[in-house]
């Protein structure tokens, strides 16, 4: 696996994308979990789609998922000049610079859309950046993933109390922290909040950090476009700062929706986002 990743990392971005789309086409001819899970999640969150539209977005999403897997080793291994070159455009950058100007620290909400690794490589351009880090299940890959994510200067901290303490310190220094908000958190680390009107077990970490630091929050993503990536920043809904946890968590999920609405097919729909449901509610998988 590590040998394969190192070989893929040598490919031009356009070639990696072509290979990824080819493999995705072959997957579309089989009964596979990536397609099945993506279709279930898109149907749950976008019930207005007819069958043809649902099938098309699902196939496009599977292609995006596979292409992303081929892009990541390249993003990890390339130098900062390559990242700058492949950042084709930046939208809403003023939202980030304004938030940093508050000197209160900034949480970047980075959903699993487009290529979040490319966004992670871009963030340290603006300010010192600290991100939570969960080592991959395949331990042989850790050096590749970790060194890639730190290549632009980001600091990685573990997903435990020590890591959370490091995030607090970074915010109090007026720096950036990056949070992937759309995974199912561990037990007792989340509550249910609507995500496209579907109950989703949602992390409380962002709410807790806001309440403890009075930091600012900005939405960030790096969408796949011809020639590279389009980085998009957007202002958070005011409700994210509410002292009412339910209101803040609904706003957090709304931010994920905002990112998805820029390009539904580039979201990672193959993840079991709704595997945990309130008591009495049927699980969709």
**Within a domain: residue 274?**
no
**Within a domain: residue 168?**
yes
**Within a domain: residue 82?**
yes
Q: Are 133 and 149 in contact (CB under 8 A)?
A: yes
**Does position 111 have pLDDT exceeding 80, yes or no?**
yes
**Within a domain: residue 239?**
yes
Residue with tokens 């977005």: 57
- 53 vs 61: CA distance, rounded Å: 12
**Within a domain: residue 158?**
yes
Q: Coil, strand, or helix at residue 108?
A: strand
Report pLDDT for 6.
86
Q: How confident is the model at residue 145 (pLDDT cuts 50, 70, 90)?
A: confident
For 69-80, write each residue's pLDDT tens digit: 999 999 999 999
For all residues of the chain together, what is the average pLDDT?
Answer: 95
Exposed, middle or buried: residue 61 (CB in 10 Å: 0-12, 13-18, 19+)?
buried
> Which residues, in sequence order, are CB contacts of 136 under 8 Å at separation 6+?
142, 145
**What total of structural domains would you count in the chain?**
1
Which range marks the domain in which residue 220 is found? 2-266
- 126 vs 83: CA distance, rounded Å: 14
Across the range 179-184, mean pLDDT stands at 95
For 202-250, write each residue's pLDDT tens digit: 999 999 999 999 999 999 999 999 999 999 999 999 999 999 999 999 9
**Does position 140 have pLDDT exceeding 90, yes or no?**
no
**Does position 170 have pLDDT exceeding 80, yes or no?**
yes
Report pLDDT for 269.
98
Report pLDDT for 31.
83
**Within a domain: residue 190?**
yes
**Within a domain: residue 30?**
yes
Report pLDDT for 3.
84
Alpha helix (H) ranges present in the chain?
2-8, 13-28, 33-45, 51-77, 80-86, 93-101, 116-122, 142-150, 161-172, 205-213, 245-260
**Within a domain: residue 28?**
yes
Q: How confident is the model at residue 88 (pLDDT cuts 50, 70, 90)?
A: very high
Q: What's this model's pTM, rounded to 2 decimal places? A: 0.94
The closest alpha carbon to 274, from 58, 34, 40, 35, belongs to: 40
For 194-214, write each residue's pLDDT tens digit: 999 999 999 999 999 999 999
Tokens matching residue 199: 């109950």
Residue with tokens 């957090």: 252
**Does position 135 have pLDDT exceeding 80, yes or no?**
no
- 241 vs 210: CA distance, rounded Å: 7
CA dihedral in degrees (272, 275, 281, 283; nearest 10)? 70
DSSP for 203-271 reads ESHHHHHHHHH--EEEEEEEEEETTEEEEEEEEPPGGGG-SSHHHHHHHHHHHHHHHHTT-GGGB-TTS
Helices 51-77/33-45 angle, 10° precision: 120
């Amino acid at each position: 696996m590590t040998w394969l990743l190192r070989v893929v990392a040598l490919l031009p971005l356009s070639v990696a994308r072509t290979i990824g789309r080819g493999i995705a086409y072959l997957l579309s001819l089989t009964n596979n979990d990536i397609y099945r899970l993506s279709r279930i999640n898109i149907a749950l969150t976008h019930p207005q789609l007819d069958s043809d539209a649902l099938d098309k977005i699902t196939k496009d999403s599977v292609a995006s998922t596979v292409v992303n897997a081929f892009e990541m080793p390249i993003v990890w291994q390339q130098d900062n000049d390559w990242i700058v070159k492949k950042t084709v455009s930046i939208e809403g950058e003023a939202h980030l610079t304004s938030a940093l100007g508050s000197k209160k620290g900034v949480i970047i909400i980075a959903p699993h859309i487009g290529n979040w690794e490319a966004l992670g490589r871009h963030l340290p351009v603006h300010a010192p950046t600290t991100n939570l880090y969960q080592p991959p299940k395949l331990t042989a890959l850790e050096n590749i993933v970790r060194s890639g994510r730190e290549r632009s200067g980001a600091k990685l901290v573990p997903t435990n109390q020590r890591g959370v303490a490091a995030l607090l310190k970074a915010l109090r220094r007026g720096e950036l922290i990056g949070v992937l908000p759309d995974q199912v958190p561990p037990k007792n680390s989340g509550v249910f909040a609507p995500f496209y009107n579907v109950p989703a077990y949602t992390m409380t970490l962002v709410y807790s950090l806001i309440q403890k630091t009075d930091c600012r929050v900005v939405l960030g993503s790096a969408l796949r476009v011809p020639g590279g990536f389009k980085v998009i920043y957007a202002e958070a809904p005011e409700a994210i700062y509410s002292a009412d946890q339910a209101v803040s968590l609904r706003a957090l999920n709304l931010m994920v929706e905002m990112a998805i609405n820029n390009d539904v097919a580039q979201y990672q729909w193959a993840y079991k986002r709704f595997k945990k449901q309130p008591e009495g509610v049927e699980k969709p998988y």
